[in-house]
């Protein structure tokens, strides 16, 4: 097999990676998956919200675990393990009956969260190693698959809930599907052999030299650039996390009809997926730093437009703000992956990416704080003032990030 044939195989890996991420991303469909549980067990909103926070926390822990399993036992073992944990989480949730909500925290929050976190890290690390010349596009496509899951599989699950299958069978089907898809991905995916010659990445010579520097996680944690980017991306992600948590109610607060408010949640998911792939494509054209600044400015616009919308009670502006928020939130995971590989290299990418993924957890905690502000003030104005302030703080950090 010549070099061109070996290079063409990576696009198959990309397709497999996107499908694997699509099924792994069902964890983010919690707003839909939780609906039958609330009626079945009479668990409160705060109890169910805590489950998602736990799932996001163990998702991040799973990323670290996935890096270690992949390093010691290989990516195939890591992905099959991820499938088993995820399937166990969904299947055990399906058989819960007359139990404390703590059992949900263990089955969905811990087991499913860990499994999806392992898969997320391993798929990104494995497929990204085949695209050193197209880091942004690769990250964008994979993140699009992950983000689109809530819209595609989430809505499919909702239909299945209301069918003769019921929620318990639906949970089992989802768990088995994740196990099968991740296991098949583990068998198919490969890291490129040393003899494969990739096209040169676009960018300056200085950037190319920087790409050849491979930092360990310990070295990365000593870099100011890591901490500035970590806080910056966390603040940007917090805007999207917050709006996702109350998008429907936000639309209703500016006099949107119920049907439009529900549709807006779906539109937000679509914009999320679009934002991921556009950010990846832009990254490959203008580079890491400019893309990060653009993503930051987009998030400022999103928060600013939405703040204006709730201040003057303008539905059209609210729709625009939610769409911008979806795109800006979609940019966050893409720049997280691309930034990590660009600044700290590919040799230790799996571990480094796992640490950077903790921005998701920080963003979810800020989103929880946003909801507390909303409850305390009874309106969205104070919440979006806080979020807008965070986006400007992120911009300051963003400007001073340097490759040192």
Identify the CA nearest to 178 among candidates 230, 262, 256, 120. 120
Inform me whether the pLDDT recorded for 320 exceeds 80: yes
Map out the domains of the chain with their CATH numbers.
3-188 (1.20.1250.20), 205-399 (1.20.1250.20)
pLDDT in tens, 154-198: 888 888 988 999 999 999 999 999 999 999 999 998 887 777 777
pLDDT in tens, 291-300: 999 999 999 9
pTM comes to 0.77
Phi/psi of residue 54, nearest 5 degrees? -65, -40
Sign for the CA dihedral angle at 140, 186, 104, 29 comes to positive
Q: What's the token pair of residue 34?
A: 């939780």
Contacting residues for 171 by C-beta, under 8 A, at least 6 apart: 33, 90, 91, 93, 94
More confident residue, 326 or 28: 326
Exposed / middle / buried, residue 151 (Cβ in 10 Å: 0-12, 13-18, 19+): buried
Alpha-helix runs per DSSP H in 257-314: 258-286, 288-312
pLDDT in tens, 48-105: 778 888 888 898 899 889 888 988 898 899 999 999 999 999 999 999 988 888 999 9
**Residues 162-183: b if buried by 16+ CB within 10 A, e if exposed:** eeeeebbebbbbbbebbbebbb
């Amino acid at each position: 097999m010549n070099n061109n044939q070996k290079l063409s195989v990576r696009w198959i890996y990309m397709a497999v990676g996107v499908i694997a991420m699509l099924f792994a991303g069902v964890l983010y469909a919690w707003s839909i998956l939780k609906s039958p549980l609330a009626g079945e067990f009479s668990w409160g909103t705060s109890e169910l919200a805590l489950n998602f926070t736990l799932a996001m926390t163990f998702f991040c822990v799973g990323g670290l675990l996935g890096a270690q399993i992949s390093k010691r036992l290989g990516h195939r073992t890591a992905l099959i393990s991820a499938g088993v944990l995820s399937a166990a989480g969904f299947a055990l949730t399906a058989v819960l009956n007359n139990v404390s909500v703590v059992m949900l925290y263990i089955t969905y929050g811990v087991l499913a969260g860990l499994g999806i976190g392992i898969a997320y890290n391993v798929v990104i690390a494995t497929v990204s190693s085949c695209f050193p010349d197209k880091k942004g596009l690769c990250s964008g496509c994979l993140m699009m698959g992950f983000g689109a899951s809530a819209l595609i599989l989430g809505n499919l699950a909702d239909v299945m809930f209301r069918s003769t299958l019921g929620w318990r069978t639906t949970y089992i089907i989802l768990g088995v599907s994740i196990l099968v898809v991740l296991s098949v991905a583990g068998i198919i995916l490969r890291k490129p052999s040393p003899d494969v010659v990739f096209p040169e990445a676009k960018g300056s010579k200085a950037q190319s030299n920087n790409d050849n520097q491979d930092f360990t996680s310990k070295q990365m944690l000593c870099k100011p650039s890591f901490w500035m980017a970590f806080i910056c991306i966390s603040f940007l992600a917090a805007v999207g996390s917050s709006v996702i948590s109350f998008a429907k109610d936000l639309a209703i607060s500016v006099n949107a009809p119920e049907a439009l408010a529900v549709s807006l949640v779906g539109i937000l998911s679509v914009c999320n997926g679009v934002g991921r792939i556009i950010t990846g494509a832009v990254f490959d054209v203008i580079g890491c730093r400019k893309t990060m600044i653009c993503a930051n400015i987009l998030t400022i616009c999103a928060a600013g437009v939405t703040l204006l919308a709730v201040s003057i009670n303008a539905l059209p502006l609210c729709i625009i703000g939610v769409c911008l928020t979806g795109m800006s939130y979609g940019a966050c995971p893409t720049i997280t992956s691309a930034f990590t590989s660009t600044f700290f290299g590919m040799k230790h990418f799996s571990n480094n990416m796992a640490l950077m993924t903790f921005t998701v957890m920080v963003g979810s905690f800020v989103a929880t704080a946003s909801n507390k502000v909303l409850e305390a003030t009874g309106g969205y104005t104070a919440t979006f003032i806080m979020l807008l302030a965070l986006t400007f703080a992120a911009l300051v950090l963003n400007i001073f990030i340097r490759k040192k």
